[in-house]
Chain A
Amino acid sequence: MTETRTGSPLSAGTTTGGTTKGVSRRTLLKGTAAAAGVAIGSGAITGFPTIWAQNIKNVTLRQFGTGVSNLNAVADKVKEDLGFTLQMTALDSDAVAQRAVTQPKSYDIADIEYWICKKVFPAGVMQPMDVSKIKNFDKIVPIFVNGKLTPESAVAQGTAPHTVGFVEGKDSIKFAKSATQWMTLIPTIYNADTLGIRPDLVGRPISSWKDLLDPAFKGKASIINIPSIGIMDAAMVCEAMGEVKYGDKGNMTKEEIDKTLKIMTDAKKAGQFRAFWKTFDESVNLMSSGEVIIQSMWSPAVAAVRAKGIQCVYQPLKEGYRAWGGGLGIAKHLSGLELEAAYEYINWYLSGWVGAYLNRQGYYSAVLDTAKEHMSPDEWAFWMEGQPAKTDILSPEGKVMEKAGAVRDGGSFQDRMGRVACWNAVMDEDRYMVRKWNEFVAA
């Protein structure tokens, strides 16, 4: 229990992961940097960028994070465009959060979700980024700066990215109320999630989250069994049913958690759910085998079901979407040449190539203008404007994802990201929620 805690995660000491190796490499790098400095200072060499480019080639940045954006294609392109090496490690989100806090020296760049950032950044293991060094900062989608896609849109509930996107100063670990010069994460990838359905089997239009618990789909529904995400989907359902009113779905009280899971438990006991899923492929198999016809789903899973020639729709719902987003953060220990390389990498990340790559996977990128330059007008119209595809739409690997004439589920970027009801979140009553969720699963 929290009362008996001896040290908070914020104050507890940090562990020493792989220091020996790190130090020796860093010392070496410092040496090289100093040598370069001397060379420049002496005026012996005027071709500064060349030398810089030579040195930076020796840099290796270690990035770790969740699977979604740890793409080998990105590491290859970094090597090609920037010259330095990017090592990527993919872990599941719980492991990412733990490693970010307990082994801060084991990575240089953390690719984490915003709700993980809320747990990790206050532990003082990362450094905020100076936005004046981020070239495309003013082009970043405003959701990540002030929480509003357009000036008139409402701020969504949950751990909205802008609430943990800035800190008060260079060495601060306190999240700022509004945008400052110091950004915790540079947003990279985000999306709006909703329910996936089998339009050929549900037999009627689906328009609300509450349809998940419609008795008509008894024994044919499923929900994700990852507590922090599943509880959000459950909350969207209960709110749509009008059974529970939430102050903030992203930060429920114990009473709200109890009420929500009571409704879900009753539904479970009545046989509403066919199964719960935990991994991507489970959700794909449940849907494509017809065991389940309505369930929580991720957008690439919908694409995977469709790739088998089975109808599957990522159904927009009137209550809006549950959104998630991630970004790149820099480890506290990074300095000198490596820090410069990290900034260079982040600037490159926002410069368009990666953005186009992510957009083509059905995710969204943080700076849209630059991504647009790397996409064909038809691709842009399909993915971002919700228009029918004029030609076949290809995945980044060149596989046909959608035939000509197809329209993206949910429509345009504005229609989807403009209707976010809540963000993935970490709650104050996290531990209580997890315990209750396990009771629901065991019920």
Chain B
Amino acid sequence: MTASAVPSEASSASAAPRSGGVRRSMLRRAVPYLQAGPLALTLLVFLLVPILTIVAVSFWDYDSIRIYPDFVLTNYEELLTSPVTWKTYLNTVKFAALTWVITLLIGFTVAYFLAFHVQSTTWQMVLFLVCTIPFWTSNIIRMISWIPFLGRNGLLNSGLISAGLIDQPLEFLLFSDFAVVLAFVHLYALFMVVPIFNSMMRIDRALVEAARDGGASAAQVVWNVILPLAKPGIAIGSIFVVTLVMGDFITVRLMSGGQSASIGLMIANEISLLQYPAAAANAVVLLAVVLIMVVAMLRIVDIRKEL
């Protein structure tokens, strides 16, 4: 609106100052662009160009040592017609769903406890920081430390055996889907806790009191008041967890002992065999799938309320 007012103002001025006015108005119009420029440039160079490169390479041809600039659809054909791809997607989605449900339960409970049961702000902060302690070490270390714990002769099995609870070590603990989901939950639960906690802290306590005055039970308060108002936090946490699990490869490889598949692992395998075009095609499909999932989540919950 202001921008449209500027030209008429400038055109009413006389000839000599006119050019100066135009220059000034052009400058004024350019300011927002200049302000957005650095971010736009960064996104262009570090996000858009790489993604376009991946899309371009996904149409190239390759053999065991080289890739050939070309336009072929074989990469997509081989990808989409292979039952392995579908099985792998199913498996990855299964990991994502299980991890999502478990981290949501843990995240909601922990956040609810922190936000509504811990009364002093100091304790809230202290306990919140306690939640972040595992994040002080690297991802991989946190993951690998499960291996000696869950192994056949690991701490848990030898503990259970010496306690007389089992005779044979439990084999399913390590190098199994159980181990993979366990590691995912361990790694990503905090990504659920933080946004939900943030949402809950913004809930007006008067609403809870009003509900109670109206005769709502504790469960009804959680279900009818807190849960709907915490939705944006849940959505943000879900986006974090789902995208992280969908793109993961190292957790699946280490915790399943290389015996389970995920899309990320499939891409990593293709890269290590120098089949870059196949990996690129796979990455494009994964990107599309994850984007659809994120859009679906945003359709259900309007997170702009939060921001």
Contact = CB atoms under 8 A, between A and B. Distances in A.
Contacts of B63: 2, 5, 9, 431
Contacts of A278: 258
Interface in B145-162: 147-148, 151-153
B77 to A, nearest CB: 9
A97 B171 contact: no
Interface in A412-443: 426, 430-431, 434-435, 438-439, 441-443
Contact of A6 (B70, B82, B152, B153): B70
B147 to A, nearest CB: 8
B61 A290 contact: no
Interface of A: 1-2, 4-7, 9, 12, 92, 94-95, 97-98, 101-102, 119-120, 123, 219, 222, 225, 227, 268, 273-278, 285, 289-291, 426, 430-431, 434-435, 438-439, 441-443
Contact of B266 (A268, A290, A442): A442
B84 interface: yes
B153 A289 contact: yes
A94 B84 contact: no
Contacts of B25: none
Nearest to A227: B273
A289 B147 CA distance: 10
User: Which of the listed residues A7, A291, A430 has the most CB atoms from chain B within 10 Å of its own CB?
Assistant: A291
Nearest to A2: B63
A291 B157 CA distance: 12
Interface residues of B, number: 34
B175 interface: yes
B174 interface: yes
Interface of B: 61, 63-66, 68, 70, 72, 74, 78, 82, 84, 87-88, 91, 147-148, 151-153, 171, 174-175, 256-259, 261, 266, 269, 272-275
A15 B5 CA distance: 57
Given A227-B273, A290-B153, A274 B175 contact: yes
A98 B259 contact: no
B269 A268 contact: no
A231 to B, nearest CB: 13
A67 to B, nearest CB: 15
A438 B259 contact: no
A6 B257 contact: no
Contacts of A273: 257, 259
B258 A277 contact: yes
User: Which of the listed residues A101, A219, A278, A289 has the most CB atoms from chain B within 10 Å of its own CB?
Assistant: A289
A275 B152 contact: no
Contacts of B65: 9, 97-98, 101-102, 119-120, 123
A438 B84 contact: yes
A274 B171 CA distance: 9
A401 B88 CA distance: 44
B152 A441 contact: no
B273 A6 contact: no
Given A291-B152, A431-B63, A7 B68 contact: yes
Contacts of A98: 65-66, 274
B269 A438 contact: yes
Contact of B175 (A2, A119, A290, A291): A291
Contact of B259 (A119, A268, A431): A268
Q: Closest 3 CB pairs between A and B? A: A275-B257, A276-B258, A442-B261
B258 A441 contact: yes
User: Which of the listed residues A277, A278, A434, A442 has the most CB atoms from chain B within 10 Å of its own CB?
Assistant: A442
A442 B249 CA distance: 13
Contacts of A435: 78, 82
A16 to B, nearest CB: 15
